[in-house]
Amino acid sequence: MANETMRAVRFHDYGPPSVLVVDTVDRPAPKAGEVLIRIRFAGVNPIDWKLRAGLVQRYIPTTLPATPGLDVAGTVETIGDGVTGFSVGDKVFGRGAATYAEFAVAPVATIAHIPDGVSFEQAATLHVGGVTAWLAVFDSAHLEAGQRLLVQGGAGGVGSIAVQLGRWKGAYVIATASTANVDFVRSIGADEVIDYTAVNVEDAVHDVDAVVDTVGGEVIAHSWSVLKPGGILVTVVGTADAETAAARGVRAEAVGHPVETRPILEQLGTLVASGDLNPEIQQVFPLEEAAQAQAASETGHGRGRILLKVAD
């Protein structure tokens, strides 16, 4: 295996998208508890370009040159020691490491089988966006049918899935979006959509049980007053101040990162197969255009997910 090579996108220095290049490198080999995946599609997420730009060195130590990428969908190529439940040729999706490449390794705790009727493209959207949304809506907010949910940033990769999960659970879903995305967010199941370019959310929304914030920054400050007493603000970017929450009689929580995500992935895959969840794909770029894909992600104003197509 060590003698076999593959194409991989790497950056040799931190910097703008243009530092990304396609190199020929050795294929990785799966360790115990891992599989090697032949990649069909890889997801492009904000953490990828933050890594490349050197913005998260304090939290994620990185040895250069490095290959970005977490989201992956493809087929099992080889299996590491002790792996059960997966066979060579199985269609899988989830979280791998260094997935902007033709092959990547993934622990079996963070991948699942792709259900019948779900495409590689759909599956490649689901780990970072889908798992994050699931954790926010259910594990943190404990959303129940009949409750009121506000999703800050309802058109984005995490927000658009959070809106659909809220609808599926039977909650009353309110979401914020820019003018261009209002109709889209309504079409995926939001009961109300607030155009944040025209309306202050504090003036339009009141007494919600939970806020899922996918934007961060000032948006958190504008979210407190919409909550009912005892409500919860869950942020997927940064942290919300617990003291502020306590002073307002509400709760605040940041989304955690569980070691094992396969059970959530299996649930998400089932929802996509049944039509209850429809991942929105904004753009698909070839592997060679990873720089353009990350530049598109950096704008922060997309709709749904951005993917890299690695193989047919």
The CA distance from 212 to 234, in Å, is 5
Residue 254 DSSP SS3: strand
Q: Cα–Cα distances in Å, from 103 out to 6, 38, 114, 127, 292?
A: 7, 5, 17, 17, 21
DSSP β-bridge partners for residue 193? 175
The CA distance from 239 to 66, in Å, is 27
pLDDT of residue 130: 95
pLDDT of residue 161: 95
pLDDT of residue 218: 86
pLDDT of residue 303: 77
Averaged pLDDT, groups of 10, the chain, 312 residues long: 84 97 97 98 93 89 94 97 97 97 98 97 94 96 98 93 98 96 96 94 94 90 93 89 90 91 98 95 95 90 85 91
Q: Global pTM?
A: 0.93
Q: For the chain, list the domains and their CATH numbers.
A: 5-125+279-309 (3.90.180.10), 129-254 (3.40.50.720)
pLDDT of residue 238: 78
The length of the chain is: 312
